[in-house]
Amino acid sequence: MAIVIGLTGSIATGKSTVSRMFEDFHIPVVDADKIAREVVYPGEKAYESIVEAFGESILLPDKELDRPALGSIIFADELKRKLLNSIIHPAIRERIFQQKDAHIKAGERCVVLDIPLLFEGNYSKVVDRTIVVSVDESVQLERLMLRNQLTEEEARERIESQLSITEKTKLASAVIDNNGTIAESREQLEKILKSWNIC
């Protein structure tokens, strides 16, 4: 029986940074953010529905989705965020399950599902264990503003669009404290996987 691990965090807490570490353990990762980009390539069904719902102003001159523009709209307006979610989440969900099943069919004994909205999207029932990557809210705010070049207000809107990191850590099987260095977080990951007899 394969073990399915759900990896999550809140925005900019370091989920992708930890996700990359699974490569060292030869554990495949299904990346929901990557899938979210693929399902909105021009020509995909979700792309057409997004343009219909949000208008051509969220497109770049080459007709690709203008992700920062769409981000500014949906993180500032809960109803618009719900509208985008209702268009895009079913397509993301379908591909997550397809990729997970393909890894298991190929004989992998452990698969990671890296999903930002793991708890909000009710994925916890399809994973065996969860790892939450956590940082203090002040560190989260600082890293988010720096990475996405956002004002404090914009960064706070994004943080508030998800379940808080405090709530997520309460729901986790294991927590990685990513306030320190990346090497320290890697050590914590290794310890967790060893305690679960995964590496």
Ligand X SMILES: CC(C)(COP(=O)(O)OP(=O)(O)OC[C@H]1O[C@@H](n2cnc3c(N)ncnc32)[C@H](O)[C@@H]1O)[C@@H](O)C(=O)NCCC(=O)NCCS
Please state the residue numbers annotated as binding site for ATP: 12-17
Q: How many residues bind ligand X (CB under 6 A)?
A: 19
Contact 75, 63 (CB under 8 A): no
CB of 45 to ligand X, least distance (A): 14
Long-range contacts of 15-18 (CB under 8 A, 24+ apart): 15/114, 15/116, 15/133, 16/114, 17/133, 17/178, 17/182, 17/185, 18/131, 18/133, 18/176, 18/178, 18/185, 18/189
User: According to the binding rule CB under 6 A, does residue 72 interact with ligand ATP?
Assistant: no
User: According to the binding rule CB under 6 A, does residue 67 interact with ligand X?
Assistant: yes
Give the footprint of ligand ATP on residues 10-39 (CB under 6 A).
11-17, 33
**Candidates 17-25, 66-74, 102-110, 181-189; binding stretch for ligand X (CB under 6 A):** 66-74
User: Among 18, 59, 88, 91, which residue interacts with ligand X (rule: CB under 6 A)?
Assistant: 88
User: Among 130, 134, 162, 188, which residue interacts with ligand X (rule: CB under 6 A)?
Assistant: 162
- Which letter does DSSP use for residue 131 in this model? E
Which of 6, 17, 18, 11 has its CA nearest to residue 165?
A: 11
C-alpha span between 103 and 99 (Å, rounded): 6
Give the footprint of ligand ATP on residues 121-150 (CB under 6 A).
143, 147
- Write out the residues near ligand ATP by the rule CB under 6 A: 9, 11-17, 33, 116, 143, 147, 178, 181-182, 185
